[in-house]
Amino acid sequence: MEVKLFDTTLRDGAQTEGISFSLEDKLKIAKLLDELGMHYIEGGWPGSNPKDIEFFKAIKKVPLKNAKIVAFSSTRRPNVAVEDDKNIATLLAAETPAVAIFGKCWDFHVTHALRTTLPENLAMIKDTVAYAKGAGKVVIFDAEHFFDGYKNNPQYALKCLQAAEEAGADVLCLCDTNGTMLAYQAQKIINEVKPKVKTALGIHEHNDSACAVSVTGMAVHCGVTHVQGTINGYGERCGNADFCAIIPILKLKAGIDCVSDKQLQKLTEISRHIAEIANLPQSAHQPFVGRSAFSHKGGIHVSAVSKHPGTYEHIKPESVGNERRVTVSELSGISNLLVKAKEYKVDLKKGSEEAKELIKILKNMEHQGYSFEEGEASFELLLKRTLGLIKPFFTLDDFIIETHKEGDQPPVVTAHVKLKVAGKLKEATGTGDGPINAIDNALRKVLEDIYPQIKSVKLTDYKVRVLDSTAGTAAKVRVIISSADETRSWGTVGVSTNVIEASWLALVDSLEYKLIG
């Protein structure tokens, strides 16, 4: 069975609240989608905005290996000749090999949204599809609100499909535009519709009922051969069907070679790259491609996975370009610790006093509020310090932080730091936008001449979490600092009732982690 993938990240996905793709963003994403093996890339609605018109001009200069570019539009307007409709003229002017044309298939929408008659809507569908076919286009007919329309008036919804089919549509895509369907409901409707048309069927799902992926999978099971979706499930309201789940499900679970093995191995990287372009955080718990998708925390799980990954992993992480992670926490057993020690190239024996002491220290620190899941660099330092494998590169003697504010001027923060480095007491003063920035600058003034490698360290993120809100201003806080150099990134953690001290602990770990190489 052959299934074609139709990506609409650049059109439906761009309707996500918080996303605003630039022209350059759209071109970058199109290249990534082509690299992933998409058969169709819907670039936008040229009749709706100038940016999409510019995209269709620019994408002609981009060599694509796999995908056909698709322009999107509605059918002609009611009571307007198709050749006189500006939207249709703009659609064809995009000069794409394929077009997607959506038409109303719910009688309620025809009468209340379009405010026209049911026969006129059928004529709009037939005229527009025929006109696009006459222009030499591959035509995908998006049967908007098809499932709601079928439930309300099955005869009319079918007439809409048949009108598009008679006009020459290449695909009849059944759209669950409100995201209302459950998988078994879709199965019943698709099985009723399929014998009544000869044209290939497609599926376009929204996720308002959290069923977009399951309904898409069921549609393919029922014989649908054209699948629409978006990367990371981007889309209006609750999003669209997530290709980052659909693609591995089709290939690895259903045995459908919709992409090659090599393309599938790029899935995690491309998912994260597009999330960066969209400027939205990727969910760590996103199936298949999330950072936590193959992470193991409980000691029993880690013990089993270390013996055979299949005990707690439904696929091989590397098949989708992801990786197995073992985290350490108060739920950890000795298995987690041994796995992490091996990862850090530390010889730690099961049952040894060192291992028992480390577990005790770890659980005590997590009781205090430490979390090493996002601060793994701090855990590596803890392990190596406890075993005597590393010594401090510097120690704090004293620091003072002062904030000066005059009138309406923004505050200026000054930090004075005294450190013992290489047996000598050294000090420096730094200023910054805030206390942590000032301390960081003061630290670097002292250390960069002695340890020039820390010049490449950049703080990329800083997060503070109050651990016990009932304690008010006396509550403990956990600070997570993310750092990076030219080749890698790492996270460190500090906990205290004083946010400055917690930040200092995480900041020191971030620099010492760089220094241990």
Specify the pLDDT at position 4.
98
User: Taking the model in full, what pTM does it have?
Assistant: 0.75
- Rounded-to-integer distance, Cα 57 and Cα 180, Å: 36
Q: Do the first three CATH levels of 4-259 and 395-515 match, i.e. the same topology?
A: no
* Residue whose C-alpha is closest to residue 263's, from 489, 19, 7: 7
Specify the pLDDT at position 47.
80
* Residue whose C-alpha is closest to residue 401's, from 437, 366, 353: 437
DSSP letters, 412-457, are: EEEEEEEEEETTEEEEEEEEESSHHHHHHHHHHHHHTTT-GGGGG-
Torsions phi, psi of 73, nearest 5? -165, 165
What's the alpha-carbon Rg for the chain, to the nearest Å?
29
**Domain regions of the chain by residue span:** 4-259, 395-515
Strand order, beta sheet including 489-496: 458-466, 477-484, 489-496
Architecture of domain 395-515: 2-Layer Sandwich (3.30)
CB atoms within 10 A of CB 309: 15
Specify the pLDDT at position 269.
93
Specify the pLDDT at position 281.
81
- Rounded-to-integer distance, Cα 217 and Cα 214, Å: 5
Q: Is 200 helix (H, G, I), strand (E, B) or coil?
A: strand
Specify the pLDDT at position 200.
98
Question: Residues of the chain whose pLDDT is less than 50?
Answer: none
- Rounded-to-integer distance, Cα 29 and Cα 270, Å: 9
Specify the pLDDT at position 513.
95
DSSP letters, 265-325, are: TTHHHHHHHHHHHHT-PPPTT-TTTSTTTTEE-SHHHHHHHHH-GGGT-SS-GGGGT---E
What homologous superfamily is domain 4-259 in, according to CATH? Aldolase class I (3.20.20.70)
Q: Is 117 helix (H, G, I), strand (E, B) or coil?
A: coil
In this structure, what is the dihedral angle of CA atoms 21, 25, 29, 32, given to the nearest 10 degrees? -160
- Rounded-to-integer distance, Cα 28 and Cα 11, Å: 14
Residues 190-223 as b or e (16 or more Cβ within 10 Å = b): beebeeeeebbbbbbbbbbbebbbbbbbbbbebe
- DSSP conformation class of 385: H
Specify the pLDDT at position 326.
72
SS3 content of the chain, % helix, strand, coil (to 5): 45, 20, 35
Please count the helices (runs of H) and the strands (runs of E) in the chain: 18, 16
289-328 confidence digits (pLDDT tens): 998 899 887 667 767 877 888 888 999 999 999 988 776 6
Question: Contact 121/77 with Cβ under 8 angstroms?
Answer: no
Specify the pLDDT at position 410.
86
CB atoms within 10 A of CB 276: 12
Six-digit token string for 287: 């199936």
* Residue whose C-alpha is closest to residue 164's, from 148, 146, 143: 143
- Rounded-to-integer distance, Cα 410 and Cα 49, Å: 41
Specify the pLDDT at position 130.
98
Specify the pLDDT at position 299.
66
- Rounded-to-integer distance, Cα 381 and Cα 370, Å: 14
